[in-house]
Amino acid sequence: MAVAFKAPVKDIVFGYEVIDSYNILSKISAFSDFSEDIVIPTMEECAKFAEEVLAPINSIGDQNGATIKDGVVTMPEGFVEAYKSFAESGWASISLPSEIGGGGMPITLSGGTLEILSTANLAFGLAPGLSAGAISAINFHGNDEQKEKFLPKLVSGEWTGTMNLSEPQSGSDLGTITTKAEAQEDGTYKITGTKVWITFGEHDMTENIIHLVLAKVPGSPEGTKGISMFIVPKMHINDDGSLGENNNVSCISIEEKLGIHASPTCVMEYDGSTGYLVGEENRGLNYMFTMMNEARVWVGGQGLACANGALIGAAQYARDRVQGRPVGMSKEEAKKSTIIDHADVRRMLMTIKAYVDAMRYLMFDNQLMMDLEYFAEDEETKAFGEERCGILTPITKAWVSDLGVELSSVAIQVYGGMGYVEETGVAQYLRDSRIAPIYEGTNGIQALDLMFRKLPLDNGQAMQRLLGDVNKVIEEMKNEDEVVASMAGNLQTEVEKLSEVTMWLGSRMLEGELVDASAAATPYLKMFGQVLGGYYMGRAAIIANKKYKETNDEFYADKLTLCSFYIEQLLPLASGYASAITAGKDDLFAMKAENF
């Protein structure tokens, strides 16, 4: 049987200390009172909701999935009631600005709540996650009338939001979209076209769904420069706020998928549907990136959620399962042992747990930078937040989501044969996690973004500033006692290697060898993620060491052990990517396509 979900509240709370969130956010007037006094009860209440309401219907959603009949999508048993409870409890709006009716908490806080909710039930968590992005896009780029019309019920959770980008012929290459937007005399547009892979494009949890749709106005420039963004509600909204007739928006079908079965992935058809232009024509892709960048960070969070959920089950199974005699243990001792006493099982569990910590700290810090970019009151801090968020986002999205798949697979291995049996529930995490490296821009695209957009920022100085911050932490570690200082050498070695290949890549691009750089993009991102994991674990080690001395709490001793394990045994994997980065394109293109 599947193991009951128990949210890792204490780990999450510690994560906020690692990234220094309380000190940094206190400098923003809207978040001046952000502290553990807010975080701890919030996470405890969120955990209670997730454990009691969402986790029990997770396997139901996986087994039964969302269904469609005559264009009507029906959610699995328990999901409609769970969503109503979710919205009524305020979880839909906790990290949205207070001026639009939200809870006024920083985006950083949503890292912990979304982790808890999505570990309990990833398919469910996709709906409010997308709504949050839609809200941001309308709030930042919509006009006052649009905000008044659409935001209140999106913020309250009475309606949900989506983003409609891809089309049958146009996946990541959005310049080829054909959805048409024709201007009307009343200032609205008629939207006509088909969109695919629309998460929660149709469902029965809310009475209205607000779609953000990318389309082209006739006569607009070719490619991505001619894309505009439109708000297209499923149901017309009357002047008094009541709902009118369907807005010629229909769901043609839902996809049969490897995982996230309770999340309907829809093919949407717009047939002269009324749409409202957001901002200016031909700037839709710019506006959509407000939504997409938030979504990309959270896609990394989905990898974290799956890895953590799989870990919870694997650890409990390892504590319970009696199998074999561990090496070095007597027959008498072995009678009382379980598989968690085997060194290889320990290695697998330690690997997952250490990575999960590093992944969490990276995601929280990425969201912290987003808060600075959006809400800081001085331009210097805003600029720093935008710069650092820009660098971290592709790494959070790709490195963390890739690890979500890999670590969920490792968790199955802990179970042995039982991990391959659906009864245990762990296989669902692997299947659910597999979408994360694909959507919101495949991980290969994230690697190209890091290589060609982020590495050259400010002539490479933005990247050097980040590496400079890593080096500052190394110096701090050297000044701590031997427990922490002993970890500094490995981190320094890997940072130096990363700096070396970064300079090499920069020189190749200056020389015009762009294919060499594109061939190196994915191993470079993986190397960068591995090193950043060491950076955050170094920061965690400094804090955990001090806390352990103050409290003698075993929790902090364990955190130190995890930091040491990561830096000594996982971080050195970073150097292994260096030769792939500097190998260039030759091997990749030496074979004819038909010979693969």
Query: In this predicted structure, what is the pLDDT of residue 153?
Result: 95
Query: In this predicted structure, what is the pLDDT of residue 547?
Result: 97
Q: How many other C-beta atoms are found inside a 10 Å radius of the C-beta of residue 445?
A: 16
pLDDT tens digit sequence for 282-324: 999 888 887 788 889 999 999 999 999 999 999 999 999 988 8
- Helix then strand count (H, E) for the chain reads 21, 11
**Strand boundaries in 469-522, DSSP class E:** none
Which residue numbers are catalytic?
Answer: 440
Query: In this predicted structure, what is the pLDDT of residue 1?
Result: 63
Q: Are 542 and 362 in contact (CB under 8 A)?
A: no
φ/ψ of residue 466, rounded to 5? -65, -45
Mean pLDDT, rounded, for 557-583: 97
Query: In this predicted structure, what is the pLDDT of residue 563?
Result: 98
pLDDT tens digit sequence for 21-36: 999 999 999 999 999 9
pLDDT tens digit sequence for 263-272: 999 999 999 9
- Any alpha helices (H) in 335-460, and if so which ranges? 343-375, 379-395, 401-415, 426-433, 443-449
Proportion of the chain above pLDDT 70, given as a percent = 100
Query: In this predicted structure, what is the pLDDT of residue 290?
Result: 74
pLDDT tens digit sequence for 411-449: 999 999 999 999 999 999 999 999 999 988 999 999 999
pLDDT tens digit sequence for 217-229: 999 999 999 999 9
Mean pLDDT, rounded, for 344-365: 98
Query: In this predicted structure, what is the pLDDT of residue 175?
Result: 80
Query: In this predicted structure, what is the pLDDT of residue 401?
Result: 98
Q: Are 232 and 275 in contact (CB under 8 A)?
A: yes
Q: CA-to-CA distance for 241 and 364, rounded, in angstroms?
A: 37
* pTM of the shown model: 0.96
